[in-house]
Structure formats: C-alpha cells, structure tokens
A and B are shown apart, each in its own frame.
Chain A
Amino acid sequence: MKSAFKKRESRSGYFFTLPTLLIVFSLIIYPLGYAIFISMQRTNLISEWKFVGARYYAELLTDAEFINSLKISLIFAFFVVVGNFVVGLLLAVILNQNLKFATTFKIILMLPWLLPEVVVALIWKWLFNPTYGLINYILNTVGLIDSDVSWFDSSTSALAGVIFVATWKGYPIVMIMMLAGMKNIPSERYEAAAIDGATRIQQFRHITLPGLRPIFLVTCILETAWWFKHFTVIWLMTSGGPAGATKVVSISIYQQAFGDFNFGKAAAESVIILTILLAASYFYSRAIRNDND
C-alpha cells in the first residue's frame, strides 16, 4: 500500500517537472546539441551534410587568426569589465551619498543602458567621424587639433575606441548592482567604524568593498560572459577592422557563418567560446561558494 503511494507520488513528481524539462530541453539542450552536431559537419544547412569529425576544432586550435581573435576578445572583455566596474562603482559611491536630486541623476546615468546598442554604436561612430564628427569639430574649434583626426585608423586607437564605447554603454548596470549592494550594508557598521575613528576611505576599503564582494562576483560572471561574446557595437563601429585589429571572436563567428557560409566552422568556434565561458563561470562560482563558506 505504502509502495503504491510512493510510486504514485514519484510519478506525480515527474509529471510536475515535465513542463520545465521540456522547456529546458527545447531552449537549451537541443540548440546546444545541434550546435555541437553542426560543428562536426561540413554543411550549408540545406543540402550539404558531410561529417568531418573534429577537423574544424583541430584547425581552429592551430589557426593564428582565431587565436588572435580570442586574444582580442580577452583584451576587449577585460578592459570593458574593469572600466564598467571603475565607473560603475565610482558613480554608485557618489549616488549613495544621499545627494539632492539623486533619483534624477540616477535616471540620467542609466540612459546609456536604456539605449539600444545599435543606437549607441551609431551615435559614437558619428561623434568620432573624422570629417563631420562632433569630437573633431570641438577639438578643432578650441584649437587642440589643426587637422581632422582619424580616431579608428590605428589598431590601438580602434580597440581603445570600441572599449570606451562599450564601457559607456555598460557601466550603468554595474552602477545599479553596486548601489543595490551598498544599500544592503547595515549602516551600523559605518557608525561603529566612525566611532572607532575610521576615515571615509578606510570605511570604504574595510566595510563597503567586502560588503559588495558577493555582488561583485556575480556581476563579474555576467559582465565577463556578456562582453566576451559582444558583437553589435564593434561590428557597427569598425566591422572588426582595421585589418582585423578589433576582430573579436563573435565577429569571426559571424563572418565564418554569413560571409564564408562555413556554418560547421562557425559552430565549432561557438562551442570553443562556450567552453571557455563555462570554465570562467566555474572559477567564479567556486569563488562565490568559498565566499559563502
């Protein structure tokens, strides 16, 4: 009697988890499996399907251009994430000071995040345009330059330019996360520190930063994954140029798939990126777990 009840109960359990399992399977497991399947095929996704095994993986891991794309992605993601944290944290600290009109400032500072990436990229592309851009016009007017500057013509300035624009677009979410974290730090800690004679900088270093650590780690995972595979701003501003100087992996994948129509290799690149991001997430998660312990 008891075992029949248990059986029924376990069947109901499966029944209730079925919708979630179906959604997870159709939205995550199946597309991932399909990408891995395609990465082992030479295919145009219509009529040509030829199994090539791990050929594309082997090619990619020895391909200097792909390795260089990975390097550029790492540099881009690193500086954007650091930039977002520096700007976001700084603004969060300022907004946390109970200023007058803090809500208005918050809304204004959130605007870059609210704008679509396409709009942000095109606005900055126009601002940086050497012949009719506002930046050259202003610098010319105040006499800082005497001829039009091509901001994106060198490899370094092009990469720095897209990092700057991505940081401008991305800092608000970090700012809001940090601000939310700061609001959760009990004010008693600051009061006690003040009584003990701690300066504002000491309070920030010994109370605010440790208090933000869990949020910092979670935001770091999200930010790294987001910017490592970023496409839109770079594609619209430089298309990966000049001569591949800003060709991050997502642009390489796009060009493989829709320029070269080599969907198998593009899928193999995507799987490699997925693996890298999974490894990064694992280390971050371990850091969070250690933190909680």
Chain B
Amino acid sequence: MVGTDNGSGQGRFNVIARNMGATDLGKNAAGKYVAGQDSDGWKAALKLYKDAVDVGCVPPGQFQTGYPEASVQIGKGQAAMMITGPHTIGVALTANPAAKGKLAGAPIPAAAGVSATTSLNQSGYAIARRSTHRAAAIAYLKFLLNKENQLRINDVTYRIPSRLDAQADPQVNSEMSLGFVKAGEGKVFSNPQIPWYNSIAILSSPAYQAAIKGDKTIDQIAKEQAEKARKIIADNG
C-alpha cells in the first residue's frame, strides 16, 4: 500500500474511491462543484484502507511506503498487489529480474453498481514556437515515436506505447501487461482541469492515514475533509 502523504498516495486512493462510486470533486445538476469526501463511496474507500491494514494484508510501514518502496516490495516478493500502472513492472524487474513472467496487471475491481474506471497518465511533449533547435526537437520526437523505438521502450519500462500500431503488437499484449491494456480500454476518468483541483486532491492523504491510525472514526474524518473541500469550493468555485 502506498500510504505516504503525497501525490503518489493521493492518486492511488483517488482511483479506489472512484471505483467505490465517489468523486472527490464532482458537479451537481446545476453545474456547480460539489465535494464528495463525505459520500458513501469515499467512506468505503477509507474503510478499505483501514481494513486492509487491520487484517494484516499490507506490509508494515505503510505510511513510509511510497512508490519506490512499494515497487521494490513487489519486485522482492514482499507484496503481492499494488495499485499502479504498467511501468511498475519495469521497476520491479530491475529490482528482481527473476520476477519476469510472474507479474501481471488486472483492472481494479469496482463496488456493486459502479462501473470500473481508471486513469491514464500521459507523457506529452511540446516544442516551443520560438525554439532555436526546432528541427532537431522534431527529429528527436519522431525518433522516440517510431514504432520500433516505442516497442524498445516498452520492452524495458513496460509503459504502454502511445502509437496505436505499437499498442497492437503482441509484445505489448503479453500476459504481464495485458491487464493494464484492458483497463485502459475501459472507462477512463480524468480529474477536473481547474487550477485549484490540487487543493481538493491533497485532502485524501491525511484522511486515509487518519483512518488507518484509527484515532477518529471514518465518519468524523469524512465530515472534516468534506468541510475543508466545501470551503475550497466556496473560495474558488
């Protein structure tokens, strides 16, 4: 479990909450932003985190387990599952080449009545209009984006290529990364594209840490975070 108080942990919790039917920042029928931190889905996601730790299916030290630590745990066989993207296969295999063929991706299960969803992280490039080395930059991007090189990158990092013809290659659809490809073909969400969304996103990590610690009830935590979210919405929305 990536339980650190940072963007890495927040992003993973967000996917879980979405698959529980919660949206941290949604819109109502009138098109106004609404907070989802005290929704049943958000509370269910918090409870899932707490239960996972309480029943002992999370390696110890979840609050210090960030992405690098969790990837190593997967590679070393100290953890069996992790909410992540295909690139973690590359990281895990670097930590432990013997794990090749033993790792696989699968879509995150969704709560009853909720359509499974995931997020896509795209790495984009841009060339500035006034770039003095525009031709070289274009040549470099073409080099990165040709099918052969996309497959080479995929072979080492397991990142899914951006070219559709490379995505269709059997190498990309290997048993190890097929689950990720399938998840990406399903319902995909993107977070609201507003400058203040991060103020909402960062509310989740203190919440799941508090839920795991158990000093407050999940209802209390959800209420507190929802109040903060509503204040942020009122200030910005």
In the complex, A150→B69 CA distance in Å? 14
Helix, strand, loop or mixed for chain A's interface? Answer: loop
Q: Chain B residues near A151: list those with CB within 8 A.
A: 61
A259–B61 touching, CB < 8 Å? no
In the complex, A243→B46 CA distance in Å? 13
Q: Chain B residues near A167: list those with CB within 8 A.
A: none
Known contacts: A260-B202, A261-B199. The answer to whether A241 contacts B4 by CB under 8 A is yes
Q: B145 to chain A: closest CB distance in Å? A: 31
Known contacts: A131-B73, A241-B5. The answer to whether A260 contacts B61 by CB under 8 A is no
A130–B196 touching, CB < 8 Å? no
Known contacts: A239-B6, A242-B209, A243-B215. The answer to whether A130 contacts B61 by CB under 8 A is yes
Whether, in the assembled complex, B59 has its beta carbon less than 8 Å from a beta carbon of chain A, the answer is: yes
Residue from the list A129, A153, A158, A261 in contact with B195, Cβ < 8 A:
A261
A148–B60 touching, CB < 8 Å? yes
Q: Could you tell me how many residues of chain A have their Cβ less than 8 Å away from some Cβ of chain B?
A: 30
In the complex, A151→B62 CA distance in Å? 11
B59–A153 touching, CB < 8 Å? no
- Chain A residue with minimal CB distance to B215? A243
Residue from the list A131, A240, A242, A243 in contact with B59, Cβ < 8 A:
A131
Mark contacts of A149-170 with chain B using CB atoms, 8 A cut-off: 1 yes-contact digit, 0 otherwise: 1111111001000000000000
- Chain A residue with minimal CB distance to B72? A132
Q: B125 to chain A: closest CB distance in Å? A: 23
By CB atoms of chain A within 10 A, which of B4, B73, B209 has the most? B209
Mark contacts of A223-247 with chain B using CB atoms, 8 A cut-off: 1 yes-contact digit, 0 otherwise: 0000000000000011111111000
In the complex, A128→B61 CA distance in Å? 9
Q: Chain B residues near A129: list those with CB within 8 A.
A: 61, 64, 69
Whether, in the assembled complex, A26 has its beta carbon less than 8 Å from a beta carbon of chain B, the answer is: no
Q: Chain A residues near B59: list those with CB within 8 A.
A: 130-131
- Chain B residue with minimal CB distance to A239? B5
A131–B215 touching, CB < 8 Å? no
Whether, in the assembled complex, B179 has its beta carbon less than 8 Å from a beta carbon of chain A, the answer is: no
Q: Chain A residues near B205: list those with CB within 8 A.
A: 241
A261–B196 touching, CB < 8 Å? yes
Q: Chain A residues near B60: list those with CB within 8 A.
A: 130-131, 147-150, 153
Q: A113 to chain B: closest CB distance in Å? A: 25
Mark contacts of A241-274 with chain B using CB atoms, 8 A cut-off: 1 yes-contact digit, 0 otherwise: 1111000000000010001111000000000000
Q: Chain A residues near B198: list those with CB within 8 A.
A: 259-261
In the complex, A44→B236 CA distance in Å? 12
In the complex, A151→B6 CA distance in Å? 19
B64–A243 touching, CB < 8 Å? no
Besides A241-B5, A244-B209, 10 more A-B contacts (Cβ < 8 Å) are A129-B64, A149-B60, A150-B62, A152-B64, A153-B63, A240-B5, A241-B209, A242-B63, A243-B215, A262-B199
